[in-house]
Structure 1
Amino acid sequence: MTGDATDRPHAPTHDDDHDPLTVPGGIPLLESTTTKPSAERSEVILITGMSGAGRSRAAAVLEDLDWYVVDNLPPQLLAPMVGMMSPDGGVRRLAAVVDARGKEFFSDLDGVIESFRAQGIEYRIVFLDADDATLVRRFEQVRRPHPLQGEGTILDGIAAERTVTEHLRERADVYLDTSHLNVHELAARVRAEVAGAGERPLAITVVSFGFKYGIPLDADHVVDVRFLSNPYWVTELRHLTGKDAPVADYVLGLPGAAEFVSGYADLIEPITAGYLAEQKAYLTIAFGCTGGKHRSVALSERLGETLRSRGYSVRNLHRDLGRE
């Protein structure tokens, strides 16, 4: 060996810094500066407010957005439920409707909220309200008593509820006055202000089927593609399906086939916008040929690809494939 001992790598001793080296000299301590990936955090929404103001409708909207929704749960049971949530899977988003229907249990909500804050649990309070005249009209329409009216009138119950919920109204993260909103407008407000605009795109299912087996009962749009030549009569293609490249190339290579799919995708653009505006969550488009094996399969697959490229959430389903 040549070289002086001073040229050798420095070996840590007990006289070094209080935090001794744990890797050989010259290797950077990457972990000391690298940010660890964090799991997606759980979300909790407390839906409260006035009876008749639309709490149940707001809860239904969140449920459609894949939130786990519980209604009229005693507040003391919220903490165990939140503790069961898992940001890595299972229930990650919890929406709880908590209101004056809980009577004496409702007073426990303040303590539960304070425990959430102490534990660092992220939560939002959504308070739904309406003017007295609107609330009275809604209760009269459903012919049900107000949960707090007792032996009094509906207005007595409304006044009592305003008293016990006032502190929640003041600390609410989201306040929605539903006096002049119909159910569709309320749903749109909840999606925009509570859940985030555009959180749930329209879910489109493109189904292929064979007319000889009947039209799908749940189809919103039915498209007949039997105007195209049938690959069944081509011996080399008969045993294949529309998911196989030779059949797909044959069908989409027929005059007008590719243009038809592109034009149909253009046609439904304004329709999907209208469905979203009307709070319709799903759209099913059914492409049919004779047996549901060749033409409808190839064209529905192409339509699915086209719509996905335009940002839609699309799944393809081939109902009758394999029935022949």
Structure 2
Amino acid sequence: MQLVIVTGLSGSGKTIALRVFEDSGYYCIDNLPATLLPHIQSHVANRDAAKVAVSVDSRSIAIESLPDILQTLKTQHIDVHLLFLDASLETLVKRFSETRRKHPLSTPNQALAESIQHERDLLSGLSNLGHHVDTSNLSSNTLRNHTRNWMLQLEQHYQEAPSHSLVLSFISFGFKHGIPLDADFVFDVRSLPNPHYDPVLRPYNGKQAPIQQFLQNEPVVLEMQQDIQHYIEKWLPGFYQDHRSYVTVGIGCTGGQHRSVYLVEQLGTYFKQQHQVMIRHRELHETQVLTKP
């Protein structure tokens, strides 16, 4: 069985993500208590469901025991993956205010921001157990596309069935829009030559030839790229030894259009030779899975 657990903060997009799996043929269960997860295989055995997606939220009984439950599921030969959705406090407050929804942990004596922080504390031990996505700057459609691409990567993982694999995720972003919450490492490339100041180059982005040619002709850009590559190569084995399934590397420039996009594309191409790679351009609202040759 292939099992996907969708969890994270209320208002971060769990329902949107779960519907992507439902539309793709997964048998979906919304808001299942965490204590029932070890029994999921027997529950769906008569439904011919090889692919199951379950959402678990902070109200679940024994949510703090989810890390141990994941290990139990793996001993049952279930290929289990966790998708953790997150968002900034400001974003979540705005979303709840706009929709006039009540936060699931709210009380008469607790403000909305306090309820959100309480939930973040409850889920703090789960964010590094799987694929962590910051949805603060993602539209609903962008989140759907990102979830769909991640799901396709899971399908490939399931078919190959490696003993242990690690997904290396690169995300480009603009510092003026905030640092992504899901990044394990963040590299600041704002010191590199900026195509934004050339009126001819400004309309293009780092995936397009004019920007690529400009940056390829700057030796300091190649030097930065190589330094980042060496750093990741040096420390990535430690994440394998720690049995991490996902590592996210953020590359940030000022606006997230040129330098960071270019370097994420270069790094993704370099590392896909040995690793499963996903690249995301936050400010371009694009996600792509790079497969090994």
Larger Rg: 1
**Relative contact order (alpha carbons < 8 A, sep ≥ 6): 1 or 2 greater?**
2
